[in-house]
């Protein structure tokens, strides 16, 4: 379940105009339009420079842009100067600054060009303002009265500490900076001990006087561990997938997701949901449990992604957001123990993935770039007489789409070469029984050998580099093929010699 796909592709509209190479223009809110010609000057002139690097039409671009624009209005006249960079146009600048995402906000301090502070993906302008305020403040700013905390209907992350100058507090505050959309507070009120039975140096989640979960800080507790705890327990054991919860679900640090597809109107909804919810209690932090209402038309895109048809509900799928491999509960009985057993087998690596494939498209091999699917990938890739170079891509990924023209160029450049196949496969629509490394798009070459070998390309994505890599691997495969053929001949000869010996022995015995 790719995060960019499920958030949707939204149009990014920024009310700024381009400046010249050595000047910049500003909108009504004073936001600078930067490029490779004036970026360094902006760093020199502004002690704190908050820069939004964006790519038009990116999935998260609209949300981040709206938050950035709102923050710009609030920050007019402040010590923080805001600026934007169109990373699609300013490719050299983006490459120099190692900007890899499609929408990213960075804070540059004291002209330091190479050590910016990355702002967490904001939900709103308030997120950015809170992040800046917490960065500039201290843990003492979070001290609150316990009675005020208990009255809040929102979940509040509370740190209960005896002293504010200890290392635990610094870890807590560093976590608060990284989660600007979450309410944080510190209390030293001894009433916590009596009311909730907690000791000092504990982080707990509170909503309207109700203790949701507590976490005892240890010397080795890291900011990252605390972030996972908070991100998981601020959500219910089971979360419904909606437009409002999508970003929270997809930005969760828990990458294993169990999804229940079910009709809310079905007669067995309460029973199945109860079983799913009970099972979820056993896998907090390890698996995020989400339910999807099949009755909701707006969930059609999600169902299409997972190839779930409405008449198949209820069913449960488990997916890892890194590998994109999907698993399906192999049972028609959705009971607590069945669900728990399935999830446990998945975590233990014993569950078998649900292999799915698009139909082989008509004329798949008639164009310079061959269109592969799950059903013919291995047959084509492991052809011992072909050198096959495959792009594993995601159709909704900007990085993937940006590589399509180059892949077409490579196919055209090698079209006359015998035994060379340039192909691509949609990794989101076809489960792949291989292990390409790294993020998509991934480029993998399958040499013309009897042995099933896959070589992952990690060089520059330029035509001349791709061709050089192809030539190098083909020459290496030729040498290996000579040895391989010799080994095969020797193997066949040994078998024939063994058979001949057996035949002679049989004659002697007769």
Following DSSP, what letter does each residue of 190-220 receive, concatenated?
A: THHHHHH---SSEEEEEETTEEEEEEE--TT
Whether domain 370-486 has CATH 3.40.30.10: the reply is yes
What is the reported pTM? 0.61
Report the pLDDT value the prediction gives residue 16, as an integer from 0 to 100: 34
Where do runs of H (alpha helix) occur along 253-397? 269-280, 300-306, 336-347, 377-381
**Structure-token pair, residue 34:** 């930067």
Tens-digit pLDDT string for the chain (510 aa): 444 433 332 223 333 333 344 455 565 567 899 998 999 999 999 999 999 998 886 555 677 888 898 998 888 888 999 999 998 888 889 888 988 777 889 999 999 998 999 998 888 899 999 999 999 999 888 998 888 777 777 889 999 998 888 899 999 999 999 999 899 999 988 888 888 999 899 999 998 888 999 999 998 899 999 998 998 898 889 999 998 888 888 888 888 999 999 999 999 999 999 999 999 999 998 999 999 999 999 888 888 778 787 877 898 999 888 877 888 887 778 999 999 999 999 999 988 877 777 889 999 999 999 999 988 998 999 999 999 999 998 887 788 889 999 999 999 999 989 999 999 998 877 877 665 656 788 999 999 998 889 999 999 999 999 999 999 999 999 999 888 888 878 878 878 778 777 777 766 665
What's the number of CA atoms in the CB half-sphere (13 Å) around residue 213? 16
Are 32-136 and 139-234 the same fold in CATH? yes
Task: Please state, in angstroms and rounded to a whole number, the distance separating the CA atoms of residues 500 and 197.
Answer: 84
Please state the domain extents for the chain.
32-136, 139-234, 257-353, 370-486
> What per-residue confidence (pLDDT) applies to 204?
93
In terms of CATH, what superfamily is 32-136? Glutaredoxin (3.40.30.10)
CA 450 – CA 383 distance, rounded (Å) = 8
Report how far apart, in Å, the C-alpha atoms of 430 and of each of 102, 250, 390 are: 25, 21, 14
Give pLDDT, residue 7.
38
Contact criterion met (CB below 8 Å) for 185 and 150: no
176: exposed, middle or buried (Cβ count in 10 Å: 0-12, 13-18, 19+)? buried
Domain 257-353 superfamily per CATH: Glutaredoxin (3.40.30.10)
Task: Please give the helix or strand (H or E) that residue 54 lies within, else none.
Answer: strand 48-54
Distance, CA of 373 to CA of 352 (rounded, Å)? 20
CA atoms of 7 and 439, how far apart (whole Å):
18
pLDDT value for 8: 37
Helix (H, G, I), strand (E, B) or coil at 117: strand
Cα–Cα distance for residue pair 294/104, rounded to 1 Å: 34
From the options 3.40.30.10, 3.40.190.10, 3.30.70.1230, 3.90.1150.10, give the CATH code of 139-234.
3.40.30.10
């Amino acid at each position: 379940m790719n995060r960019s796909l499920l958030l949707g592709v939204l149009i990014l509209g920024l009310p700024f105009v381009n400046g010249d190479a050595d000047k910049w223009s500003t909108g009504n809110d004073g936001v600078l339009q930067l490029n490779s010609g004036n970026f360094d000057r902006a760093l020199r002139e502004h002690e704190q420079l908050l820069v939004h690097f964006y790519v038009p039409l990116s999935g998260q671009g609209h949300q981040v842009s709206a938050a950035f624009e709102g923050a710009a209005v609030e920050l007019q006249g402040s010590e923080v100067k805001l600026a934007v960079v169109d990373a699609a146009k300013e490719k050299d600048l983006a490459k120099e600054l190692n900007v890899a995402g499609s929408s990213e906000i960075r804070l540059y301090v004291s002209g330091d060009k190479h050590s910016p502070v990355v702002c967490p993906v904001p939900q709103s302008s308030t997120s950015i303002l809170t992040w800046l305020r917490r960065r500039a403040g201290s843990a003492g700013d979070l001290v609150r009265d316990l009675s005020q905390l208990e009255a809040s209907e929102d979940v509040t992350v509370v740190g209960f500490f005896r002293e504010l100058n200890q290392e635990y507090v610094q870890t807590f505050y560093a976590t608060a900076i990284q989660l600007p959309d979450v309410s944080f507070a510190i209390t030293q009120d001894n009433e916590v001990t009596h009311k909730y039975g907690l000791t000092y140096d504990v982080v707990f989640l509170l909503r309207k006087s109700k203790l949701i979960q507590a976490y005892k800080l240890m010397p080795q507790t890291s900011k990252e561990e605390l972030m996972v705890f908070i991100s998981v327990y601020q959500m219910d054991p089971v979360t419904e997938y909606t437009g409002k919860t999508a970003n929270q679900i997809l930005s969760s640090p828990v990458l294993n997701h169990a999804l229940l597809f079910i009709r809310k109107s079905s007669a067995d909804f309460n029973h199945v949901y109860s079983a799913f919810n009970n099972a979820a209690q056993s896998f907090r932090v390890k698996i995020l449990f989400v339910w999807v209402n099949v009755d909701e038309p707006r969930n059609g895109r999600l169902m299409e992604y997972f190839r779930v048809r409405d008449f198949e509900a209820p069913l449960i799928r488990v997916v890892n957001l890194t590998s994109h491999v999907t698993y399906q509960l192999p049972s028609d009985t959705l009971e607590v123990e069945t669900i728990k057993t399935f999830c446990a087998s998945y975590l233990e690596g014993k569950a078998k993935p649900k292999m799915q494939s698009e139909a082989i498209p008509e004329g798949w091999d008639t164009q310079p770039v061959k269109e592969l699917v799950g059903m013919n990938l291995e047959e084509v890739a492991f052809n011992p007489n072909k050198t096959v170079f495959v792009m594993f891509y995601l159709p909704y990924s900007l990085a993937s789409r940006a590589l399509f023209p180059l892949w077409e160029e490579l196919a055209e450049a090698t079209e006359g070469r015998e035994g060379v196949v340039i192909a691509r496969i949609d990794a989101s629509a076809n489960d792949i029984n291989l292990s390409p490394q790294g993020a998509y798009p991934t480029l993998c070459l399958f040499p013309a050998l009897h042995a099933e070998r896959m070589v992952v390309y990690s060089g520059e994505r330029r035509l001349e580099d791709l061709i050089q890599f192809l030539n190098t691997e083909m020459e290496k495969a030729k040498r290996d093929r000579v040895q391989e053929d010799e080994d095969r001949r020797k193997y066949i000869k040994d078998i024939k010699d063994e058979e001949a010996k057996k035949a002679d022995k049989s004659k002697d015995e007769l």
